[in-house]
Chain A
């Protein structure tokens, strides 16, 4: 819907992407021929029935899985051709992850969890501290820095995870059902945060969700079903239908 005003080139260009899994002796196709553009600053919602391949697509975009065919150009670089290590370094600098089950390290405090991606950079301890404190302030958890994940509610844990996702200032944030395990109130907080990351910090976001309310935050929604993507569905049009 913003295409007319902003003919910006796509940040992510996905072309003819295919992915299947082998289960037992059988090959199960999950994605058959996905083509999709995501522009810088987009907030894209991915919906679809369970098992339709949403997570699979998101994982491919985030560079933690490899497709069988097709290409994924991120800012002109085909990440499907990157080697194992290059890809790890690319993720560290480019992608922030938000998982359904938060995936914080239980033995590290909120502070240390957020700091973790920065240990992959050359920042000094003092610089890291400034960044971590700012990120925790952004998610409203300055008071909880020294708490371990087990001492935090689900919503708080997910906010720590969001702070971790933005700590190294990545251009892309991927979120796989970030509200899937949260109560209504916490989910709303988390979605409000995602919205701020997009509007205030200009992060490009791809978010998989089941939740209509969550999807409403997105600028655009894609539906995935039977390995195919139905494009250009505006959530508002769909919901009034």
Chain B
């Protein structure tokens, strides 16, 4: 039979200051742990949302990123003519031959030049990205030096406000609109006409070819044929997998850093919990003796003190996760080292993170509370009672 739960809970309440300090330490660790996982989840969500399930992306073999890729016009034409590619309303294949370039643009306020991705899109570029919606101004007109800017970029860089002019590729471009790409990586890009960009940057090759499949089930067949074609030295990927791979290195880095930090911090929090619980056992030695005399078994004493430590951890978790949840309002923008360009994303709280951080907090409580609980349970009754 256990000691009533109220006994454990009220003892936490009875020493409020210690409880708050100890739970606060745990809350901090939970916060760091959850925030890092949320960062990772946000990054993945952003990059995964960038890919459409029935789109493919063709890049030069082993290029990894669009920046390092090159697909010449002949190769692009072969890709375009494949039978698996969907046809649009006018009978033209739904294909966008794109050029992706980095420009260094000063940030507003600080003036620090930061890499921004410029994407010249082809005819079907918008049709391929239904998540992209114009939210201010209008879309650029093909064949002009007009550009539109992603939601996360707009206003944050010099020359990216509506109606402003921005200079790159030896030309002036006019910002005619801003678009929302549904939290995807496109939100951190500048878009304009593909052919215009090719001319401006004096490029002979496209960076990539994006296309829609008529039937996503035909992907394997298409890839096998294209990758086996000796005229082409191309990688054919589902757009979604491509962007998932883009996030891998950063995601791994964030996860390792976060987990390492959390583990180091958690040692402090666990030692804190252990000290608190040892003090609780020492202060309540006579009570423990009385409980045992009344007939509570050693196991019940162990459980009562362990429960106390776990409640402490639960409190720390609740506070930590609440603060972490508030971080969802914050937008992060950072360098994606895989594409070397600015990428904006949000802390994203998922059910998995809630559960993981709860388990992490309970593990801290368990480790911190275990030895003190064992000491409480191992006391000899007569010795404990003499401590009165």
| A contact set with B: CB distance below 8 Å | 56, 59, 62, 64-65, 84-85, 88-89, 91-93, 95, 97, 99-101, 103-108, 112, 116-117, 119-120, 164
B380: A residues at CB distance < 8 A:
65
* Minimal beta-carbon separation of A95 from chain B (angstroms): 8
Residue ID in chain A nearest B382 by CB atoms: A65
B293: A residues at CB distance < 8 A:
62, 64, 91, 95, 97
A95: B residues at CB distance < 8 A:
293
Interface pair B10/A103, CB less than 8 Å apart: no
Interface pair B290/A103, CB less than 8 Å apart: yes
Interface pair B286/A103, CB less than 8 Å apart: yes
B111: A residues at CB distance < 8 A:
none
* Minimal beta-carbon separation of A93 from chain B (angstroms): 7
* Chain B contact patch, size range: 20 to 34
Residue ID in chain A nearest B13 by CB atoms: A107
Which B residues, 269 to 314, have Cβ-Cβ distances below 8 Å to chain A? 286-287, 289-298
> Which of A85, A101, A108, A120 is B294 in contact with, Cβ under 8 Å?
A120
Q: A105 vs B295: C-alpha distance in the bound complex, in angstroms? A: 15
Residue ID in chain B nearest A65 by CB atoms: B382
Interface pair A103/B289, CB less than 8 Å apart: yes
> Which of A59, A103, A112, A120 is B296 in contact with, Cβ under 8 Å?
A120
A89: B residues at CB distance < 8 A:
295
A99: B residues at CB distance < 8 A:
290, 385, 388
B382: A residues at CB distance < 8 A:
56, 59, 64-65
Q: Given the known A-B contacts A97-B294, A119-B1, A120-B296, are A106 and B289 also in contact in the complex, defined by CB atoms under 8 Å?
A: no
How many inter-chain contacts with C-beta < 8 Å in the A-B complex? Answer: 76
B385: A residues at CB distance < 8 A:
64, 99, 103
Q: A65 vs B3: C-alpha distance in the bound complex, in angstroms? A: 22
Interface pair A116/B10, CB less than 8 Å apart: no
> Which of B7, B13, B290 is A97 in contact with, Cβ under 8 Å?
B290
Residue ID in chain B nearest A21 by CB atoms: B382
> Which of B14, B297, B298, B388 is A103 in contact with, Cβ under 8 Å?
B388
Residue ID in chain B nearest A120 by CB atoms: B1
Q: Is B109 an interface residue (CB 8 A)?
A: no
> Which of B1, B14, B295 is A107 in contact with, Cβ under 8 Å?
B14
Q: A23 vs B293: C-alpha distance in the bound complex, in angstroms? A: 24
| B contact set with A: CB distance below 8 Å | 1, 3-4, 6-7, 10-11, 13-14, 286-287, 289-298, 380-382, 385, 388
Q: Given the known A-B contacts A88-B292, A99-B290, A117-B295, are A106 and B14 also in contact in the complex, defined by CB atoms under 8 Å?
A: yes
Residue ID in chain A nearest B4 by CB atoms: A119
Q: Given the known A-B contacts A103-B286, A103-B287, A105-B287, are A64 and B292 also in contact in the complex, defined by CB atoms under 8 Å?
A: yes
A108: B residues at CB distance < 8 A:
4, 6-7, 10
Interface pair B381/A64, CB less than 8 Å apart: yes
Q: Given the known A-B contacts A65-B381, A103-B385, A106-B14, are A120 and B287 also in contact in the complex, defined by CB atoms under 8 Å?
A: no
B295: A residues at CB distance < 8 A:
88-89, 91-93, 117, 120
Interface pair B14/A88, CB less than 8 Å apart: no
Interface pair B388/A116, CB less than 8 Å apart: no
Q: A65 vs B14: C-alpha distance in the bound complex, in angstroms? A: 31
* Minimal beta-carbon separation of A53 from chain B (angstroms): 12
Excluding A88-B296, A93-B295, 9 further A-B contacts by CB distance (< 8 Å) are A56-B382, A59-B382, A84-B298, A97-B293, A100-B388, A103-B289, A105-B291, A106-B287, A116-B4
* Minimal beta-carbon separation of A148 from chain B (angstroms): 10
Q: A105 vs B3: C-alpha distance in the bound complex, in angstroms? A: 12
A112: B residues at CB distance < 8 A:
4, 6
B289: A residues at CB distance < 8 A:
103
Pick the most buried of A101, A108, A120: most chain B CB atoms within 10 A of its CB.
A120
Q: A88 vs B10: C-alpha distance in the bound complex, in angstroms? A: 25
Q: A93 vs B3: C-alpha distance in the bound complex, in angstroms? A: 16
Q: List 13 A-B contacts (CB under 8 A).
A: A59-B382, A64-B385, A65-B382, A88-B297, A92-B294, A97-B293, A99-B388, A103-B286, A103-B289, A106-B14, A107-B11, A112-B6, A120-B296
Q: A89 vs B296: C-alpha distance in the bound complex, in angstroms? A: 8
Residue ID in chain B nearest A167 by CB atoms: B294
Interface pair A101/B388, CB less than 8 Å apart: yes
Q: A65 vs B289: C-alpha distance in the bound complex, in angstroms? A: 12
Q: A87 vs B137: C-alpha distance in the bound complex, in angstroms? A: 83
Q: A65 vs B286: C-alpha distance in the bound complex, in angstroms? A: 15
A120: B residues at CB distance < 8 A:
1, 294-296
Residue ID in chain A nearest B295 by CB atoms: A92
Q: Given the known A-B contacts A91-B293, A116-B294, are A105 and B388 also in contact in the complex, defined by CB atoms under 8 Å?
A: no
Q: A107 vs B6: C-alpha distance in the bound complex, in angstroms? A: 9
Residue ID in chain A nearest B294 by CB atoms: A117
B4: A residues at CB distance < 8 A:
108, 112, 116, 119
Pick the most buried of B7, B293, B382: most chain A CB atoms within 10 A of its CB.
B293
Interface pair A101/B292, CB less than 8 Å apart: no
Q: A101 vs B289: C-alpha distance in the bound complex, in angstroms? A: 12
Q: A9 vs B6: C-alpha distance in the bound complex, in angstroms? A: 43
Residue ID in chain B nearest A96 by CB atoms: B294
* Minimal beta-carbon separation of A133 from chain B (angstroms): 18
Residue ID in chain B nearest A56 by CB atoms: B382
Residue ID in chain A nearest B290 by CB atoms: A103
B298: A residues at CB distance < 8 A:
84, 88
